[in-house]
Structure 1
Amino acid sequence: MSGANRITHAFRQLVRFGWEQTLSCLFPVVIFASLAITQMISLPLLPRYDWLLLLFLLMQWIMLRSGLETKDELKVITLFHLIGLALEIFKVHMGSWSYPEEGYSKVFSVPLYSGFMYASVASYLCQAWRRLDVKLVNWPPFWLVVTLGSAIYLNFFTHHFWMDVRWILSILVIIVFWRSWVNYSVNGIVYRMPIALSFVLIGFFIWIAENIATFFGAWEYPNQTEAWSLVHLGKVSSWLLLVIVSFLIVASLKLVKGKEADLRRRSSSRQHSGIKRMTST
């Protein structure tokens, strides 16, 4: 292949990869569009937070009915919604950020739509996993993954009362996943990337998304009460750890689901072989 053909091929692969990523980000795009529209246009009858909840529920229903999302993926997304909502209630109580607007669907000062912010991360991971045919290489033992993910999630709570061990946890992530890779396919061609690098990239882009979300009033940090300002770059580490928790949960569920599918295939194959032997006799 000539140099010009290689460049053309690489460009086409990049465009296809970008398109698959865009489709995987459909739910987050709807969230940002809804935030922007409801910020610029005052909707009647209900407060803005309640309209956002209704819009996100409608989008979730459309994705499920249209086949863009499977029932198993909906279960994962619902789990993330609950995990995120619990974290939001605690963080708002501790004064980390706030939701200053009124709403009927607020629980402990947190609007229920906020859980969809976390659910959208799970939606992206599930969609990208399926569209890019993601495969894990040298994945650590299940117990180690669960322990590390739990420790990262608990640190979001405990650092308010004890020392913040996020950097220790970050080092442990590098150690645990040092030999782990993620394989993904674009137009039938398999590429691979260190899992730790994928964590960093996703965390950085979520930080960019967080700046967009706070600009449109999704929530408000203490330093943004008077006027909007850029979210501190240090928040990248928080999102990085949250992405790691998200990825570990999705990966663990995908692996469990894959093992169940393998067991069903083997059982079906054995039954089929038994029927053939009985027929031959």
Structure 2
Amino acid sequence: MKSEHVKDFLLFGWKQALCCIFPVVIFLTLAVSKVLTLPFLHRYDFILLVCILAQIVLVWMKLESVDELKVITVFHIIGLGLELYKVHMGSWSYPEEGWTKIGGVPLYSGFMYASVSSYVCQAWKRFDLHLIHWPRTSFAIILSVSIYTNFFTHHFAYDIRWVLIALIVILFYKSHIRFTVITKTYRMHTILSFMLVAFFIWLAENISTFLGAWRYPDQEISWRIVHWGKISSWFMLVIITIIIVAELKRIKYPEQVKGTK
């Protein structure tokens, strides 16, 4: 392997770590709050407080812009809405007490979804992402709405997840992402990037459930690995996140998102 490639690989890893600042803060908070008990504050409330402070610090240090904060907030709301419904349907639970719980859902849970959009926003500017052969805006929006709706409707109607995956393949089979590490530009198929991010989120989900962030029904007695099938759910959520960011970028920076309008 050439020294240039080694340097790019190492810097790629370092930049990826920087993109994960917000998720890492959440993981560290989950870990610390699992072993330390605060006598004056419930664990869920402590995690929420740290998440809010972390978000303020990121903006104050200009690691995130106000526009990026708006995108992250939108996904926080989207995630919280999904959490409220899923907990109500018994998909998972938050068994600990907390003052900042609504409908059995602690408000910090929305930040776990927001951290995904934070990662996407960070990666976009650190790697100078350009999306090539991106699908038409109307198609991308319809796909996002359909994916999000299916998370709700599959509880009482047919789960069209595999239909949606087929549509994703059709819409994105020509699409790829161009990214720059130092000066050399690389390319990756868009669907592969979706899959890789989803896989690493699934790994993070295993860490989160181990640290007691939430529990699936089969983890009530003892922790066990999260089912592989959850990767497809994260795959879908990653697509929603990237589409939201991409369509907003297309408005302000059309040269970064090239495709059919």
TM-score (normalised: structure 2): 0.96
Kindly tell me the number of residue pairs found equivalent between the two proteins.
Answer: 256
Which amino acid in the other structure matches residue 174 of structure 1?
Answer: V
* 1:135 correspondence with 2:135: no
* 1:118 correspondence with 2:113: yes
| Identical amino acids, percent of aligned pairs | 54
Over aligned residue pairs, what C-alpha RMSD do you find? 1.2
Query: Match for residue 56 of structure 1?
Result: 51
Residue number among 219, 222, 247 corresponding to 2:214 in the alignment: 219
Separation (CA, whole Å) in 1 of partners of 2:133 and 2:218: 43
* 1:210 correspondence with 2:205: yes
Query: Match for residue 240 of structure 1?
Result: 235
Residue number among 34, 38, 62 corresponding to 1:39 in the alignment: 34
Query: Match for residue 191 of structure 1?
Result: 186
The Cα shift of 1:7 comes to 2.6
The Cα shift of 1:188 comes to 1.2
Q: Match of 1:255, SS?
A: helix
Which amino acid in the other structure matches residue 133 of structure 1?
Answer: D
Query: Match for residue 228 of structure 1?
Result: 223
* Structure 1 residues 14-29: aligned runs within 5 Å: 14-29=9-24
The Cα shift of 1:44 comes to 2.4
Q: Match of 1:13, SS?
A: helix
* 1:73 correspondence with 2:73: no
Residue number among 175, 187, 197 corresponding to 1:180 in the alignment: 175
Unmatched segments (≥5 aa) in structure 1: 1-5, 262-281
Which amino acid in the other structure matches residue 96 of structure 1?
Answer: S
The Cα shift of 1:260 comes to 11
Query: Match for residue 92 of structure 2?
Result: 97
Q: Match of 1:254, SS?
A: helix
Query: Match for residue 158 of structure 2?
Result: 163
Q: Mark the structure with the bigger radius of gyration.
A: 1
Q: Match of 1:138, SS?
A: strand
Q: Which has the higher contact order (CA 8 A, sep 6+)?
A: 2
Separation (CA, whole Å) in 1 of partners of 2:129 and 2:254: 15
Question: 4+ runs of 1 displaced by more than 6 Å?
Answer: none
By percentage of residues, which structure has more helix? 1
Separation (CA, whole Å) in 1 of partners of 2:49 and 2:100: 10
